[in-house]
Amino acid sequence: MADPDRGDGQVSDSEQAVPARRRRARRPAGPPPNAVAEPVHSEPVETDADKAGSADEGTGESTSAVPRAARRWPVIAASIVAVAVIAGLVTASVLFAQGTSRIDDRNSQRGEYSAFARQMIIDLTSLSPSTIDSALKTFQTKTSGKAMQQMQTSMQQTTDLIKTQGVSTTGTVLSDAVTASDDDTATVILVSGWTMTEKGSAEPAQVQTFRWRVQITRINGDLKLTNIEWVT
């Protein structure tokens, strides 16, 4: 406290110390100089726009499911169509292969019948003193049934004529066609040329054309000539 008797206006040391203590007491409390301030977390304020967005997200799955399914249907339908087309092509290919195989088998079978018929006509109409024995063997081993009976007498007469008079005949097949066939039988029509010459004769060779209908039968796995007819 100031002394009224002092007129120098100076303040004593005790008087100066009081305000300093008061000033220190009035200083607001705060963190010490070396303290690290903790971050302040504040809760976000949810606005009306955020609420609207949350509501849209809650219903987004149900509203977008239909468009996604609608977009997938064309792809699924195209896949189904593609599978059906592929299956159809595979089936068609199998049927075509089977049909082609059957056609090939049938053509091969017809070729076998045709070759046999041609060879039989050539062997039985191409006769000479040097070939008559092999022709007789063909007649005995490659004919059966009615054909064997039909040719038995004529072959004997032909053999005698060729051996005693030196007659030679030559047969050729001009055309042939298988008119009916299955696994065991076939009917073949042939057109053949036939030429006969006689040794030492001044007469020209005789040339004739014949049409034949022959029946072929598979017996025990071997083809046999079972019927032969001249066709006018």
- What span, in angstroms and rounded, lies between the C-alpha atoms of 12 and 17? 9
Mean pLDDT to the nearest integer, 99-106: 69
- Domain range for 125 is 103-230
pLDDT at 92: 63
State the CATH number of the domain containing residue 187.
3.10.450.230
Q: Which residue has the higher pLDDT, 216 or 162?
A: 216
Confidence of residue 165 (pLDDT cuts 50, 70, 90): confident
Domain count, the chain: 1
Mean pLDDT taken over the chain: 74
169 domain residue, yes or no: yes
CA distance linking residue 81 with residue 223, whole number of Å: 52
Residue 19 lies in a domain: no
On whether residue 192 sits in a domain, the answer given is yes
Beta bridge pairs of residue 207: 195
Report yes or no on 113 lying in a domain.
yes
pLDDT (tens digit, 9 = 90+) per residue, 53-73?
554 455 444 445 556 656 666
Centroid of chain to Cα 61: 45
Domain membership flag for residue 71? no
Full-model pTM = 0.56
Give domain status of residue 48, yes or no: no
Cα–Cα nearest to 136, from 116, 115, 159: 159
Q: DSSP of 98-138, one letter per residue? A: HHHHHHHHHHHHHHHHHHHHHHHHHHHH-B-TTTHHHHHHH
Q: Is the pLDDT of residue 86 over 60?
A: yes
Task: Kindly state whether residue 155 falls inside one of the protein's structural domains.
Answer: yes
Q: Is residue 69 part of a domain?
A: no
Contact 176, 190 (CB under 8 A): yes
Whole-number pLDDT of residue 70: 63
